């Protein structure tokens, strides 16, 4: 074997055995990144069990602030309102996102398809505060014309904002499906609706469920759009917490934040599990 061949084989072997974890400083940078990301969250969770009033001075372990939050009527009302808005918004957003995903993946390529994709994902590209101000102007005009000031505005606003979050996993699921299954159903004389109901819909269901869960957690955690759109007495849990922080910071806020954190983590974890099963 010539020297040049040996050098080429050695270079290929080195590239194949390359592992970024062996790079100098990789472990230190990774640990520092995790520390910056999770140290504040761990601190929040620990101090939610603080027995004292201070959010910076540990005075012993206690469930005091969780019990206080559970018996706080304002927190209960805000939590129920958050769940109602998030539930309706996730359902509506998922239905619309499913229709949009079908309309952009189960058709022949056409001019303007990329523009439609960009428009659907507009809330992801535009700063959230811009969307909030735009919705505030529109809904203020509608309120003045109709006199209605109920939760419908919050549900509509959250639906519009959550559509792209539901759309992305549903579209990804559709793009990964084998279209020959739908073709086979058509060859067996299934109508388009029956082929969709019996073949396409069951196969895309993991993406739909994942999109609905993602939309739910995004709606549940939203502050900016809710703050702009809500009427008096329509605080959701995040906006209630924001209002409390402007007055005084107590471990009760830490307890509420911890509960929201674990709910969000549980939903996002389920989202990734569904995606893994899909893959």
What is the 3 state secondary structure string of 91-118?
Answer: HHHHHHHHHHHHHHHCCCCCCCHHHHHH
Query: Residue 204 CA to chain centroid, in angstroms?
Result: 19
Cα–Cα distance between 160 and 154 in angstroms, integer? 10
**Pair of tokens at residue 266:** 């549980």
Instruction: Kindly state whether residue 54 falls inside one of the protein's structural domains.
Output: no
Give yes or no: residues 154 and 35 share one domain.
no
pLDDT at 6: 60
Whether residues 43 and 90 share a domain: the answer is no
Residues 31 and 162 in one domain: no
DSSP 200: I
CATH code where residue 163 lies: 1.10.3720.10
Contact 100, 163 (CB under 8 A): yes
Predicted local distance difference test score (pLDDT) of residue 221: 85
Total domains, the chain: 2
Reading the chain (279 residues) residue by residue, the pLDDT tens digits are: 555 666 666 555 555 566 666 777 777 888 888 888 888 888 888 888 888 777 677 888 888 888 888 888 888 888 889 889 999 999 999 999 999 888 888 777 777 777 777 788 877 888 888 888 988 899 888 888 888 888 889 999 999 899 999 998 888 888 877 777 777 877 777 777 887 778 878 888 888 888 898 899 889 888 889 988 888 888 888 888 888 777 767 778 888 888 888 887 887 787 777 666 555
Q: Are residues 122 and 213 in the same domain?
A: yes
Same domain, 131 and 232: yes
Q: What is the pLDDT of residue 18?
A: 61
Q: Phi and psi dihedrals of 50, rounded to 5? A: -70, 135
Q: Are residues 227 and 264 in the same domain?
A: yes
Instruction: For residues 96 and 25, state if they share a domain.
Output: no
**What's the Cα-to-Cα distance from 160 to each of 90, 126, 165, 187, 210, rounded to whole Å?**
10, 13, 10, 38, 18
Same domain, residue pair 20 and 88: no
Furthest C-alpha separation in the chain: 87
Q: Do residues 209 and 72 share a domain?
A: yes
Per the domain annotation, does 56 fall within a domain? Answer: no
- Which tokens go with 115? 């523009």
Structural domain includes residue 220: yes
Q: Which residues contact 269 (CB under 8 A, 6 or more apart)?
A: none
Domain co-membership, 111 together with 216: yes
CA–CA distance, 37 with 46 (Å, rounded to integer): 16
Q: What is the span of the domain harbouring residue 75?
A: 68-278
Q: Are residues 119 and 25 in the same domain?
A: no
Distances (CA, A) of 180 to 37, 153, 189: 44, 42, 14
Measured between alpha carbons, how far is 33 from 78 in angstroms, rounded to an integer?
A: 34
What is the pLDDT at residue 85?
93
């Amino acid at each position: 074997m010539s020297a040049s061949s040996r050098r080429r084989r050695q270079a290929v072997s080195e590239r194949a055995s390359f592992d970024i974890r062996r790079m100098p400083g990789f472990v230190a940078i990774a640990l520092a990144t995790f520390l910056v990301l999770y140290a504040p969250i761990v601190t929040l969770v620990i101090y939610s069990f603080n027995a004292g009033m201070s959010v910076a001075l540990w005075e012993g372990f206690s469930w005091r602030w969780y019990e206080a939050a559970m018996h706080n009527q304002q927190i209960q009302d805000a939590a129920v309102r958050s769940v109602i808005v998030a539930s309706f918004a996730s359902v509506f957003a998922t239905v619309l996102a499913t229709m949009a995903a079908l309309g952009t993946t189960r058709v022949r390529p056409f001019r303007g398809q990329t523009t439609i994709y960009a428009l659907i994902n507009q809330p992801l590209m535009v700063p959230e505060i811009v969307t909030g101000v735009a919705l505030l102007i529109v809904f203020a005009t509608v309120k003045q014309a109709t006199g209605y000031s109920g939760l419908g505005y919050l549900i509509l606003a959250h639906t519009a904002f959550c559509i792209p979050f539901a759309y992305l996993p549903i579209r990804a699921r559709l793009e990964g499906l084998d279209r020959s299954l739908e073709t086979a159903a058509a060859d067996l004389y299934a109508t388009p609706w029956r082929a969709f109901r019996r073949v396409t819909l069951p196969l895309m269901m993991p993406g739909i469920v994942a999109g609905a869960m993602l939309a739910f957690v995004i709606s549940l955690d939203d502050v900016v759009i809710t703050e702009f759109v809500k009427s008096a007495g329509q605080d959701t849990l995040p906006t209630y917490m924001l209002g409390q922080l402007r007055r005084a910071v107590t471990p009760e806020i830490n307890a509420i934040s911890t509960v929201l954190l674990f709910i969000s983590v549980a939903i996002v974890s389920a989202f990734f599990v569904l995606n893994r099963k899909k893959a």
